[in-house]
Amino acid sequence: MASIFTKIINGEIPCHKVAETDDFLAFLDINPNAWGHTLCIPKKEVDRLFDLDEDTYNGLMSFSRKVALAIEKVVSCNRVGVAVVGLEVPHAHVHLIPIDSMTDMDFKNNKARSQKEFAALASEIASQF
């Protein structure tokens, strides 16, 4: 069965898109640890990050870096933290989380706001990508 992220790639489930290339997609996390929390995924569905072929892995990291630089231009933060977990969604992804302190990395946070605010933020970050 297709992962929820493949359904997002295919447009079957909506997302607030931040950046897209032929091989990768970035969109806002639905349940952000901190405002601006973004997920970067390969369009190729592979569960575990380190099972990606080397080109896709390197491409995902390079794409994530570009997305992080765009986030930093828009979201006020000390830096963008990076996490890879994958326990909830078995489709490799990089979490980019704007942080000022370690508590901003906490996956128990819920910094969600209105759909209108998500849409505005995604479009601002997209304009810097």
Catalytic residues, by residue number, are 93
Q: Which residues contact 14 (CB under 8 A, 6 or more apart)?
A: 8
Q: Do the Cβ atoms of 64 and 99 come closer than 8 Å? A: no
Binding mask 9-48 for ligand 5GP (x = CB under 6 A): ----x-x-----------xxxxx-------x---------
Tokens linked to 106: 């906490």
Min. distance of Cβ 4 from ligand 5GP in angstroms? 5
Question: Least separation, in Å, of the C-beta of 15 and ligand 5GP?
Answer: 5
Which listed residue (2, 85, 119, 120) binds ligand 5GP by CB under 6 A? 85
What is the secondary structure of 7-25 as a DSSP string?
Answer: HHHTTSS---EEEE-SSEE
112 binds ligand 5GP (CB under 6 A): no
Our finding on whether 72 is near ligand 5GP (CB under 6 A) is no
Smallest CA-to-CA distance from 30 within 109, 101, 128, 125 is with 109
